[in-house]
Amino acid sequence: MSNVKTKTEGATIKMSDLSFSFKGKSGSRLPIFECQNLSISPSTLVAVVGRSGCGKTTLLKLLSGLLTPDRGSIFVNGLVPNELIRKREIALAFQRPHLLQWRTVLWNVELPGRLWNSRLMVANAKAALEMMGLEKYADANPTELSIGMQARVALARTWCQNPKLLLLDEPFAALDEIGRDRLNLKLQRLWLDQRFTGILVTHSIAEAVYLADRVIVIGPKPQGVIGDFDINLPRPRSHKVLEDQKYLVLVRQIRDLLENNNGSEE
C-alpha cells in the first residue's frame, strides 16, 4: 500500500477567449491556437487529441505557464498558471524522461523535493518507485534502464509531487504497445489514488478514450477545439473495455471528426 499523500480534489481550469501565435521570420504572427471558452472540472482526466502541429503541446505549455497567451485568460483554481507553479501544484511530464544520467534513479525521483526543499516530496520518492515496480532499481543509473523503465521513473517523479494539475505530453510515445498498455494502467491507478486533474496529450485516439473521462479534439491550426466528448465508461477500466461497443463507437466518432477536418501533417 502506497504511503504517498493523496489529494481529494484536483484543479479547476477555465480558459476564455484564448489566442496564441508565434512570431515568424518575416515578423508576422503565425496563429497556432484559438479557444473561445473551455472549462475543466476538478479531478477530471482529460485527453487531448489532434493532428500533428495543431497546437496540443502549445496548449499544455499555456496551461503550465511556459507560454503566455496573446489574448484571453487561463485560470487554474482561480490563479494564473505561474502562481500555481509557485505553490507547487502543477507537474509536467514530457515525451522524453529528462533524467539526470549521472544521478541514481531514486535521486532523480527526489529531484523536485530537493529543488523545493520539500521533505514530503523527498519522502514520497521511495513509495513512488514502489508504485512503478522500480524499487529494486533505486540505486541504479538511468542508463542501465530500458526506455520503458525510464518513462516509469519520470512518472514516479511527477507522482511524488502530489500535483493538483498533472500535464502529460505523450510521455509513453517511445514505448512498444505492450509497455504503453502497462503504463496506461499505472496512470489510471495513479489518478484513482490521487484524483488530480490530468491533461494528457496523445496521438492515439484509442488510448485517449481508454484513459480519459473526457476527450477534447483540436482541429488544424488555428481552429482550436472542434470536438468535446464525454467518456461514460465505468472505472477502473481493464483491457476488456477495448471490446465494449460504447468504446468502439466513441473511437470511431472521434476519428471521423479528425478525418473530416482537413489539415497538413508537420
Q: How confident is the model over 165-192, as pLDDT tens digits?
A: 999 998 777 777 887 888 888 888 888 8
CATH of the domain at 208: 3.40.50.300
Residue 60 counted as domain residue: yes
Q: pTM to 2 decimals?
A: 0.85
Cβ atoms of 90 and 64 closer than 8 Å: yes
Q: Quick one: cell of 68?
A: 503566455
CA-nearest of 244, 218, 220, 221 to 231 is: 244
Domain range for 88? 13-97+166-259
> Which three-class secondary structure state does DSSP give residue 188?
helix
Q: How confident is the model over 83-134, as pLDDT tens digits?
A: 888 888 888 888 777 888 899 999 999 888 788 778 877 888 888 888 888 8
Q: How far apart are CA 254 and CA 23, in angstroms?
A: 31
Residue 240 counted as domain residue: yes
Residue 88 counted as domain residue: yes
Residue 86 counted as domain residue: yes
Q: Is the pLDDT of residue 2 over 60?
A: no
Strands of 13-23's sheet, edge to edge?
29-40, 13-23, 71-76
User: What is the mean pLDDT of the segment spanning 213-234?
Assistant: 90
Residue 264 is predicted with a pLDDT of: 44
Residue 207 is predicted with a pLDDT of: 93
Q: Quick one: cell of 165?
A: 494539475
Residue 156 is predicted with a pLDDT of: 87
Q: In which residue are the cell numbers 468504446 written?
A: 247
Residue 170 is predicted with a pLDDT of: 86
Number of domains forming the structure of the chain:
1
Residue 46 is predicted with a pLDDT of: 96
Instruction: Identify the weakest region by mean pLDDT among 155-164, 174-183, 190-199.
Output: 174-183
Q: How far apart are CA 21 and CA 30, in angstroms?
A: 5
